[in-house]
Structure 1
Amino acid sequence: MARLHLVTAASAVAVAREFVHQALRYWKLDDYAADVALMMSELVSNAVKETGFYDRQPLPWEVTAGHVMAIQLRAVGDELYVEVWDRSPREPAKQHVTADAEGGRGLHLVEALAKDWGIYRPPAGGKIVWALLATTQSPNPQLDGQTLQLRVPDELNPQPGPVKDQASIALMQRVLDGLRNLL
């Protein structure tokens, strides 16, 4: 599993694409990078349009907890999950597009590339839009102890509530995944 939190700004789309390429290179699943990066780009773009600064880069003091999204890649056997969480409860909908339309094809592309896709409502709120890609191989990273990320130290006074709880749960999930990889 690889996860990243981003501000819902237009630049998040490019960062998400690079995140996909780096993670899949590390997992030795490079052959799937183009399709997965496209799916991630479309899902991130939808999240930015729904909850963020789509038309400009925000000033630092404009960013609130409502402008944060999480992106995640999970490999389970020979299946690869692309997941994007944002705080909006509104579900993305496929749009009817014409041949000369400049946008609106995102979910159509995801549907064409994915084995399946859908929406999950986590207890923390918001939604996770996910897509599943079948692969012909499992990830095969070099386990070097560098993949476990550190959590935010308590002395930085992170805000209590669902975001801090979700970060703690995510840390525990990474620890559990790391321990399972050792078996």
Structure 2
Amino acid sequence: MSQPRFTDQLSFAAVLTAVNSSRIFTKITLTKWGAGRVLDDALLIVSELVTNAVKATGVTEPNPTWGELSKLKLINVRLLGLESSIVIEVWDCEPSEPVPTEAADDDENGRGLTLIDALSKRWGTYPSRGGKVVWAELPVHPLTTKGLPRRRKSSPSTGTPAEADERPPPDPYLLQRVIVGLQRL
């Protein structure tokens, strides 16, 4: 990894509110750096990484007891601004690496690492200070002469959209009722 041009970090208590707080921190930092083009993806990635860190080491009860809070741990979010990418790192004190899972269509959880993999250029983990860092790198595409970011070219689709095959046939009676209703106006 090249030398960071910018860096900023903040520690949070490993509780559920750390997710929203880390999103605010990320939004302020990336806006300050002028990296607004990757803001939406960065917010989703930091949300997933911090959620995983809180689940691994923190208090997940919405209304924790004083006893649970006495065992409170910290997580750390660090943002690195490189020449052509942003790296989001989240440290927690749990040394075991996260494991991507295959979520069923109706599962409410289990897609976080899949989302990170889809949105980021690359991601990974490394051991650090008795725990681990999970990181993701987001490319910051250069602007074209028209002011739009250059994106990787995707391969053209060969199929038709799913909706095209599932549209119901036109209903002439419905159309007639709409026309009559409009004429009455």
Deviations 1:157-180 (A, max 9, x none): xxxxxxxxxxxxxxxxxxxxxxxx
Q: Distance in 2 between matches of 1:63 and 1:38?
A: 27
State the TM-score, normalized to the length of structure 1.
0.70
User: Where does the alignment leave 5 or more consecutive residues of structure 2 unmatched?
Assistant: 1-6, 143-185
Asked if residue 134 in structure 1 is aligned to residue 139 in structure 2, the reply is: yes
Indicate which of 51, 54, 58 corresponds to 2:57: 51
Does structure 1 retain, via aligned residues, the 8 Å contact 2:93–2:131?
Answer: yes
Does structure 2 retain, via aligned residues, the 8 Å contact 1:16–1:40?
Answer: yes
User: Where does the alignment leave 5 or more consecutive residues of structure 1 unmatched?
Assistant: 138-183
Partner residue in 2 for 1:37: 43
The structure where helix makes up a greater share of residues is 1
Q: What's the offset of the Cα at 1:67? A: 1.0
Q: Distance in 1 between matches of 2:45 and 2:86?
A: 12
Q: Distance in 2 between matches of 1:64 and 1:77?
A: 42
Measured on the aligned residues, the alpha-carbon RMSD in Å equals 1.6
Indicate which of 5, 8, 11 corresponds to 2:11: 5
State the TM-score, normalized to the length of structure 2.
0.69
Does structure 2 retain, via aligned residues, the 8 Å contact 1:71–1:83?
Answer: yes
Asked if residue 104 in structure 1 is aligned to residue 114 in structure 2, the reply is: no
Does structure 1 retain, via aligned residues, the 8 Å contact 2:49–2:134?
Answer: yes
Partner residue in 1 for 2:92: 86
The 5 A counterparts of 1:152-163 are none
Does structure 2 retain, via aligned residues, the 8 Å contact 1:113–1:133?
Answer: yes
Asked if residue 125 in structure 1 is aligned to residue 152 in structure 2, the reply is: no
Larger-gyration structure (1/2): 2
Q: Percent identity?
A: 36
Q: What's the offset of the Cα at 1:55? A: 2.4
Q: What's the offset of the Cα at 1:62? A: 4.3
Partner SS, residue 121 of structure 1: strand
Asked if residue 71 in structure 1 is aligned to residue 77 in structure 2, the reply is: yes
**One-letter amino acid of the structure 1 residue matched with residue 136 of structure 2:** A
Q: Distance in 2 between matches of 1:106 and 1:74?
A: 21
Deviations 1:100-145 (A, max 9, x none): 11110000000000000000112x21000000111125xxxxxxxx
Q: Distance in 2 between matches of 1:57 and 1:39?
A: 26
